[in-house]
């Protein structure tokens, strides 16, 4: 008998033995546990998965109740989770989702960190981030392709090169997501130099192969990086210091990185950012003793951080905000020109979104790495003509160590996702895979998020702040039969700054799964293309011409032909 | 052939001829049209249904496209509507909703009237109010029972009486919702005196039987009201003046009403409130010419309005904010003690919500008033032991004129709704009703809204601003198979102040409808009870003891017994 009651070293069951009454429930159970696997989550003892305080459940009591409920949940029942707490089970239908999740949603006038902190303190809410509270985090791999695609697009745009060979990438933060930076930079053949105040995080990236080495001081780290750049070497180096310490050194010594970014969890200044002059431990003491003072210092430090980034930008560094809202936090702390730094979505990712491409992923419940490699081969075979995808799959197979349940991320687009999902489901049915496969995605995707300083920054029609699309996305995924669907506020850019939805479907080899995969993967990504076509992106209109959706108010060329 | 293309004098088709491919679509089509029937909506020429600028569709072009799409929509397709504009049709399942609607949702930091107005101006959004953009408005009847229940509870609490006989009720605003006040007061045997600046609205209430008479001046109106009160008469009187003019007169003449409220659309100062010194026409000119100046004057006027209400309250009037957010708007304009005025939900309605009771309603697609009376008799028979409900149904049958499709509102509770819905569906199946019946409710209901100055004001556990519940409600209603589901921001208390969901199910006599009605009406109201039990309301816990829901983290006494 598998023991589901422990709270340390949580590890999801592997293989095709069912503990729940159906694979929808079992998938949710295993992915929840996988989020808290110490190989995967950042601080599982505190239920924190990644991204500042992105949690999987509100409390251990809530976690236990979710686990118990999933183990007993019938195939026509649906569990409701309110900010990480299971609040009710209702009878729905066999075709409906098994779990519906709403995390950190607040009435807009109260959507501030101050109110959120107060309500969290009262035990009434939880920060779900994007994939933490929605149970589809897959470790640092989850963001790595996004980072890779961003840096690749940057290379093409600014250096007319498909790699970053001979370029110096400087950034900070080696947390759950930030930890992907050194590896993504390496896959693009750059030299990466990263500041991280928490030595334990550096250790974790070294252990999981995301980082090559650590230098004890800034001076030494910078020298090594410059030597490597000179020598045309490809290497990633961390320095165990505050971001501003590294940047100040570069400014003082007239060293300008080619590419500059940041991945501290600046979106959540109270929990995700360590102020100047503090280490992890002293910061924790100040945070507990005087949160207001902590916030003041963290915001001042973020302001200084962005000032330094601006100085380096003006000296020629190609800089971008990589989705942690650091520009806005600095702007609110008085840095009026913070938005001179590019947002990565309009600068590098929008074209992918317009085609329905985004961080799609799958995990094999068998636990067998070779089944991921088998699926890699399937993808290479099915999408032979998609060069970028094939290049990615090959690089990923070579560079990425698995964390927890073996998984793969791939920016598949509209049309590709459902084709792939359905084929994989057939393989499960035929026993070519030894257990079901889970398909999901980040909330950071084409049609699932409204976030004016990130995914919807500078939309062509000015619709950045329109929040209807993620809501429609969540409702449509429920109607289409995803196994679990989530809707969050907050996430990557923090409280007040984004609304987003997630979905997961389990391919268990059944005809029921085929239907769900066809509908959900098609509709989910299709809505993203429609959202971009509606906003006036030509690439989206073209995508709809190839693979039409009925769009009552767009041009006739995007409409399915009548039979 | 029915003509669906006209834009004036819109009137939904009646009877059992299907124009769409299924009754889910047909119900949505007819209820959309019914919202814009001049008998029903307030300003149908501008697509405005009620509540300031609560619209049914974003533009006439969008309206036409919705109508066309509904006429063609297949029984396994789902139409998505983004702030009143139809954006896509996707294939879902037969059991899924036919329409999914998201209106006026904004990323919270941009959830201000300023940003909303800018985005509306750009053609990117629309204010959906609660039942306007979700196509289940039924005229002034939709709010009348709420007003009745509020006044009845007030009478019991403050006057130890089950009527308001011999009491003077003073208020303002005779719009779509406000127009219910004189009739509700009359049903409770009070004398009602109401200020309304727009003579056309007074005309409409007289014509529909919601109002008894109009007096040309404040002085005359007040004298008539006082005489009626003296004489123990039951009458409602409107005066065609600004609210502050009436209140100032009362203050100056030392006349204190027994009960005092307001139903101008103060939640939307730019569109819903006429500033002091303006009439409808001069206000429209100022609004067009200088919206900022308009807002300044409207807010100043609202501040004065609430000051006058406070003066009368301190002299002994029982006053309450009836859900138009007038206290908050005044507070922001400097009236620091605005919240001395009670909110009607915590003061009078919370107990109903805790039992899953709220503004449930049905409309007969036959168009035959006698079928509503038949359903009145069914309700009286089924719920014989529910005295309050029977009293209401009898009063409603006596006093309420139908507008548009004949409809009935009744605060049914958890358990009652689905029992009633299923019985009605059987009657449709047996031909005892000549056409299908539509069941829906206001967004203003037990488990469907988060609104800290209205439905969730002063929750026992402090969870007023928690926004997860309406999201879960919308997702659950989709999973349960409502025919259309909506999610709105704004609504009754305005942009920034509320999130809420709606659902409608069509009873067409089929087994499919039976299943939908059982699940949706049960789960929707059940979630409201759970939400209140979770917040610590004993009445909700007791309700769950009678009719259990699996609630993983509530006490065992609320759990269904194991078989
Ligand atoms: N672009 C994307 O696709 C994307 C995806 C996910 C997350 N994000 C955002 O990226 C940020 C990082 O996410 P994460 O999951 O890695 O967060 P995390 O909380 O797991 O890690 C943050 C890291 O930053 C370090 N740090 C904090 N302050 C520092 C400072 N002043 N100097 C140096 N290091 C410091 C912390 O020690 C920690 O290791 C978040 O804001 C998140 O919302 C972006
Ligand atoms: N408690 C509830 O259940 C509930 C339900 C629905 C709506 N509401 C709220 O009630 C308010 C009224 O809703 P509605 O649908 O009747 O709105 P509406 O826009 O249809 O009508 C508002 C009326 O107020 C009048 N008015 C505006 N300014 C005035 C002034 N200064 N003096 C006198 N009259 C003035 C207008 O001429 C109009 O007739 C809104 O704020 C709405 O959100 C409450």
| Placement of tokens 């690439």 in the chain | A539
pLDDT at B481: 98
A465 → closest Cβ in B79, B119, B461: B119
**Buried b vs exposed e over A32-50: b needs ≥16 C-beta within 10 Å?**
bbbbbbbbbbbbbeebbbb
Q: Ligand 2 pocket test: pick from B35, B51, B242, B411 the residue with the most ligand atoms within 8 Å of its Cβ.
A: B51
**Buried b vs exposed e over A382-419: b needs ≥16 C-beta within 10 Å?**
ebeebeebbebbebbeebbebbbbbbbbbbbbbbbbbb
The ligand whose atoms approach the alpha carbon of B455 most closely is 2
Instruction: State in Å: Cα B173 to ligand 2 middle.
Output: 5
Of the CA atoms within 13 Å of residue A517, those in its CB half-sphere come to 28
Q: Is the pLDDT of residue B384 over 50?
A: yes
Convert the pLDDT of each residue in B389-438 to its tens digit. Answer: 999 999 999 999 999 999 999 999 999 999 999 999 999 999 999 999 99
Select the residue from B467, B484, B525, B534 to test the A interface by mutation, using most A Cβ atoms within 10 A: B467
Instruction: State in Å: Cα B486 to ligand 2 middle.
Output: 22
Instruction: State in Å: Cα B140 to ligand 2 middle.
Output: 11
CA atoms of A133 and A31, how far apart (whole Å): 11
Confidence of residue A560 (pLDDT cuts 50, 70, 90): confident
Convert the pLDDT of each residue in A98-140 to its tens digit. Answer: 999 999 999 999 999 999 999 999 999 999 999 999 999 999 8
Convert the pLDDT of each residue in A39-94 to its tens digit. Answer: 999 999 999 999 999 999 999 999 999 999 999 999 999 999 999 999 999 999 99
| Closest residue to atom 9 of ligand 1, CA basis | A324
Convert the pLDDT of each residue in B480-504 to its tens digit. Answer: 999 999 999 999 999 999 999 999 9
Q: CA of B283: how far to CAs of B279, B287, B307, in Å? A: 6, 6, 22
CB contact under 8 A, A109 and B474: no
For residues B377 and B410, the answer to whether their CB atoms sit within 8 Å is no
- Residue B414 CB less than 6 A away from ligand 2: no
Confidence of residue A556 (pLDDT cuts 50, 70, 90): low
pLDDT at A469: 98
Partner B contacted by A560 (CB < 8 A): no
CA atoms of B406 and B375, how far apart (whole Å): 11
Residue A90 pairs in a beta bridge with: A78
CB contact under 8 A, A530 and B476: no
Mean of the per-residue pLDDT values for chain A?
Answer: 96
Sheet holding A342-343, edge to edge: A213-214, A235-239, A191-195, A168-172, A259-260, A318-321, A342-343
- Identify which of B498, B495, B43, B41 has the alpha carbon closest to the alpha carbon of residue B269: B495
Q: Which domains does chain A have, with CATH numbers?
A: 1-137+357-461+472-510 (3.40.1770.10), 141-340 (3.40.50.10730)
pLDDT at B563: 42
Cβ within 8 Å of A, B 360-389:
none
CB atoms within 10 A of CB A556: 6
A478 → closest Cβ in B85, B102, B478: B478
Instruction: State in Å: Cα A316 to ligand 1 middle.
Output: 25
If DSSP states are collapsed to H, E and C, what string results for B345-384? HHHHHHHHHHCCCEEEEEEECCCCHHHHHHHHHHHHHHCC
Average pLDDT on A170-180 reads 96
A97 → closest Cβ in B92, B122, B479: B479
**Percent of residues, chain A, with pLDDT higher than 70:** 99
Q: Which residues contact B436 (CB under 8 A, 6 or more apart)?
A: B16, B23, B26, B27, B365, B428, B506, B507, B508, B509, B513
Reading the block at residue A401, the tokens are: 């160590």
The burial class, CB within 10 Å (0-12 / 13-18 / 19+), for A146 is buried
Average pLDDT on B53-82 reads 98
pLDDT at A394: 96
Instruction: State in Å: Cα A176 to ligand 1 middle.
Output: 7
For residues A56 and A71, the answer to whether their CB atoms sit within 8 Å is no
CA atoms of A169 and A191, how far apart (whole Å): 6
pLDDT at A563: 42
Q: What is the DSSP letter of B397?
A: H
- Strand (E) or helix (H) holding B182: helix B180-187
Partner A contacted by B71 (CB < 8 A): no
Q: Where is the binding site, in residues of B? A: 51-52, 129, 176-178, 196, 201, 263-267, 273-274, 322, 492
Q: CA of A257: how far to CAs of A191, A225, B62, B196, B320, in Å? A: 10, 10, 51, 67, 63
Reading the block at residue A290, the tokens are: 């005087």
Q: Which residues contact A543 (CB under 8 A, 6 or more apart)?
A: A354, A355, A356, A413, A414, A529, A533
What angle is formed at CA A475 by the lines to CA B96 and CA A24, rounded to 5 degrees? 75
What is the distance in angstroms between the Cα of A535 and the nearest Cα belonging to chain B?
10
Q: Is the pLDDT of residue B49 over 60?
A: yes
Partner A contacted by B329 (CB < 8 A): no
Cite the beta strand spans of B434-517 per DSSP E. 437-441, 449-450, 484-489, 499-507
- Residue A275 CB less than 6 A away from ligand 1: no
Convert the pLDDT of each residue in B222-233 to its tens digit. Answer: 999 999 999 999
| Placement of tokens 């767009």 in the chain | A554
Convert the pLDDT of each residue in A249-282 to its tens digit. Answer: 999 999 999 999 999 999 999 999 999 999 999 9
B552 → closest Cβ in A65, A451, A474: A65
CA atoms of A232 and A191, how far apart (whole Å): 9
Dihedral of the CA atoms B348, B353, B357, B363 (nearest 10)? 90
Which residues in chain B touch residue A62, judged by CB atoms under 8 angstroms apart?
553
Q: Is the pLDDT of residue B562 over 60?
A: no
Confidence of residue B1 (pLDDT cuts 50, 70, 90): confident
| Closest residue to atom 39 of ligand 2, CA basis | B175
Partner B contacted by A5 (CB < 8 A): no
Could you identify the atom of ligand 1 that is nearest to the CA of residue A275? 31
Convert the pLDDT of each residue in A70-84 to its tens digit. Answer: 999 999 999 999 999
Reading the block at residue B70, the tokens are: 């509904």
pLDDT at A172: 98
pLDDT at A557: 61
Strands B213-214 vs B259-260: parallel, antiparallel or unpaired? unpaired
Residue A501 pairs in a beta bridge with: A487
For residues A133 and A488, the answer to whether their CB atoms sit within 8 Å is yes
B462 → closest Cβ in A69, A122, A476: A122
CB atoms within 10 A of CB A225: 25
- Residue B320 CB less than 6 A away from ligand 2: no
Strands A318-321 vs A168-172: parallel, antiparallel or unpaired? unpaired
DSSP string, A363-380: EETT--HHHHHHHHHHHH
- Using DSSP, state whether A358 is helix, strand or coil: strand
Which residues in chain B touch residue A558, judged by CB atoms under 8 angstroms apart?
none
- Using DSSP, state whether A173 is helix, strand or coil: coil
Which residues in chain B touch residue A109, judged by CB atoms under 8 angstroms apart?
108, 111, 452, 465, 496-497
Convert the pLDDT of each residue in A364-402 to its tens digit. Answer: 999 999 999 999 999 999 999 999 999 999 999 999 999
CA atoms of A482 and A485, how far apart (whole Å): 6
Partner A contacted by B536 (CB < 8 A): no
Q: Ligand 1 pocket test: pick from A243, A264, A455 the residue with the most ligand atoms within 8 Å of its Cβ.
A: A264
Average pLDDT on B242-250 reads 98
What is the distance in angstroms between the Cα of A112 and the nearest Cα belonging to chain B?
8
CB atoms within 10 A of CB B243: 30
Instruction: State in Å: Cα A52 to ligand 1 middle.
Output: 7
- Using DSSP, state whether B498 is helix, strand or coil: coil
- Residue A322 CB less than 6 A away from ligand 1: yes
Convert the pLDDT of each residue in B311-365 to its tens digit. Answer: 999 999 999 999 999 999 999 999 999 999 999 999 999 999 999 999 999 999 9
Convert the pLDDT of each residue in B146-156 to its tens digit. Answer: 999 999 999 99
């Amino acid at each position: 008998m598998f023991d589901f009651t422990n709270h340390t070293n949580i590890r999801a069951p592997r293989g095709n033995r069912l503990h729940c009454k159906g694979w929808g429930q079992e998938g949710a159970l295993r992915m929840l546990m996988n989020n808290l696997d110490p190989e995967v989550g950042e601080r599982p003892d505190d239920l924190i998965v990644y991204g500042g305080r992105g949690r999987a459940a509100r409390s251990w009591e809530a976690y236990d109740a979710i686990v118990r409920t999933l183990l007993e949940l019938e195939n026509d029942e649906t569990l409701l989770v309110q900010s990480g707490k299971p609040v009710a089970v209702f009878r729905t239908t066999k075709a409906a989702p098994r779990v519906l999740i709403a995390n950190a949603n607040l009435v807009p006038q109260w959507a501030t960190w101050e109110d959120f902190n107060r309500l969290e303190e009262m035990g009434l809410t939880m920060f779900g981030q994007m994939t933490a509270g929605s149970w589809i985090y897959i470790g640092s791999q989850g963001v790595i392709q996004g980072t890779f695609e961003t840096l690749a697009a940057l290379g093409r745009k600014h250096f007319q090169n498909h790699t970053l060979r001979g370029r110096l990438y400087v950034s900070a933060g080696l947390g759950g997501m930030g930890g992907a930076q050194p590896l993504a930079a390496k896959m693009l053949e750059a030299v990466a130099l990263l500041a991280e105040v928490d030595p334990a995080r550096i250790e974790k990236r070294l252990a999981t192969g995301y980082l090559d080495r650590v230098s004890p001081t800034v001076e030494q780290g910078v020298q090594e990086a410059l030597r490597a750049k000179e020598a045309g070497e490809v290497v990633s180096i961390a320095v165990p210091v505050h971001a501003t310490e590294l940047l100040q050194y570069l400014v003082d010594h007239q060293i300008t990185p080619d590419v500059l970014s940041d991945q501290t969890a600046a979106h959540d200044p109270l929990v995700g950012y360590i102020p100047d002059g503090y280490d992890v431990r002293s910061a924790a003491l100040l945070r507990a003793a005087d949160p207001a003072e902590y916030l003041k210092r963290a915001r001042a430090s973020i302001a200084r951080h962005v000032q330094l980034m601006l100085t380096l930008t003006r000296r020629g560094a190609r800089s971008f905000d990589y989705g942690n809202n650091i520009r806005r936090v600095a702007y609110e702390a008085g840095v009026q020109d913070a938005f001179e730094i590019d947002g990565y979505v309009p600068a590098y990712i929008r074209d992918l979104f317009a085609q329905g491409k985004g961080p799609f992923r799958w995990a094999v419940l068998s636990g067998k790495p070779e089944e991921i490699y088998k699926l890699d081969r399937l993808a290479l075979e099915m999408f032979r003509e998609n060069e970028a995808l094939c290049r990615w799959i090959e690089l990923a197979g070579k560079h990425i160590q698995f964390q927890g349940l073996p998984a793969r991320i791939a920016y598949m687009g509209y049309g590709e996702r459902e084709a792939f999902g359905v084929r994989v489901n057939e393989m499960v049915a035929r026993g070519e895979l030894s257990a079901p496969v889970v398909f999901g995605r980040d909330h950071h995707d084409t049609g699932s998020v409204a976030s004016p300083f990130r995914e919807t920054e500078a939309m062509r029609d000015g619709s950045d702040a329109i929040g209807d699309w993620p809501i429609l996305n969540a409702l449509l995924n429920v109607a289409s039969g995803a196994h679990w669907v989530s809707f969050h506020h907050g996430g990557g850019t923090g409280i007040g700054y984004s609304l987003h939805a997630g979905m997961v479907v389990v391919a268990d080899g059944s005809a029921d799964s085929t239907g769900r995969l066809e509908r959900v993967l098609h509709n989910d990504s299709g809505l993203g293309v429609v959202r971009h076509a509606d906003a006036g992106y030509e690439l989206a209109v073209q995508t709809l011409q190839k693979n039409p959706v009925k769009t009552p108010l767009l041009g006739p060329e995007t409409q399915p032909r009548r039979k």
